[in-house]
């Protein structure tokens, strides 16, 4: 549903999600965005390059430390971010209107448990990769 909504504005759900995770006032350090989105850094690099080419973001390099790059929304990026925000709010409102609160509470409890299990398994896999690298 998010992709169908985003397509009306010549964008995608993934682009909207990235834009929603960039601070509208101050921008966001490039190194903070991938963890916020659960993306691999190299996937984010491609996404940011694409967003920059479309004129939705710009990169600001710190004057004090050239290694520090902040991703800032352009005016067009702010407009697309607002459209994404409206889409999320619209979807959430529809869900709340159509699904009873008690069912939503159970759903979010289950999702929280699933996310915890996924995170635990990811940690085990990462630990196994590290152990495998040491051999």
Token pair listed for 1: 């549903």
Q: What's the gap between Cα 61 and its chain centre?
A: 21
Answer yes or no: do 85 and 104 share one domain: no
Answer yes or no: do 40 and 56 share one domain: yes
Answer yes or no: do 75 and 119 share one domain: no
User: What pLDDT is attached to residue 24?
Assistant: 94
Please state the domain count of the chain.
2
φ, ψ dihedrals at 61, nearest 5°? -85, 135
Answer yes or no: do 59 and 120 share one domain: no
Helix (H, G, I), strand (E, B) or coil at 72: strand
Verdict on whether the full-model pTM lies above 0.95: no
Answer yes or no: do 61 and 83 share one domain: yes
Answer yes or no: do 38 and 92 share one domain: yes
Answer yes or no: do 48 and 16 share one domain: yes
Count CB-CB contacts under 10 A for residue 11.
20
Return averaged pLDDT per consecutive 10 residues of the chain, 135 residues in all: 77 87 92 84 87 95 86 95 91 94 96 94 80 55
Answer yes or no: do 90 and 106 share one domain: no
Answer yes or no: do 82 and 123 share one domain: no
Q: How many Å apart are CA 16 and CA 8, to the nearest integer?
A: 12
Answer yes or no: do 63 and 29 share one domain: yes
Beta partners for residue 124, in sequence order: none
Answer yes or no: do 85 and 126 share one domain: no
User: What pLDDT is attached to residue 129?
Assistant: 67
Q: Which domain holds residue 108?
A: 100-135
User: What pLDDT is attached to residue 50?
Assistant: 92
């Amino acid at each position: 549903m998010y992709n169908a909504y985003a397509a009306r504005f010549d964008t995608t759900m993934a682009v909207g999600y990235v834009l929603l995770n960039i601070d509208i006032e101050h921008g966001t350090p490039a190194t903070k965005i991938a963890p916020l989105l659960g993306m691999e850094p190299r996937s984010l690099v491609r996404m940011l390059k694409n967003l920059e080419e479309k004129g939705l973001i710009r990169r600001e390099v710190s004057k004090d430390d050239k290694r520090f790059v902040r991703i800032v929304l352009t005016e067009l990026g702010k407009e697309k971010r607002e459209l994404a925000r409206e889409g999320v709010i619209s979807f959430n409102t529809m869900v709340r209107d159509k699904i009873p609160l008690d069912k939503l509470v159970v759903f979010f409890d289950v999702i929280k448990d699933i996310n915890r299990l996924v995170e635990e398994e990811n940690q085990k896999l990462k630990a196994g990769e590290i152990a495998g690298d040491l051999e």
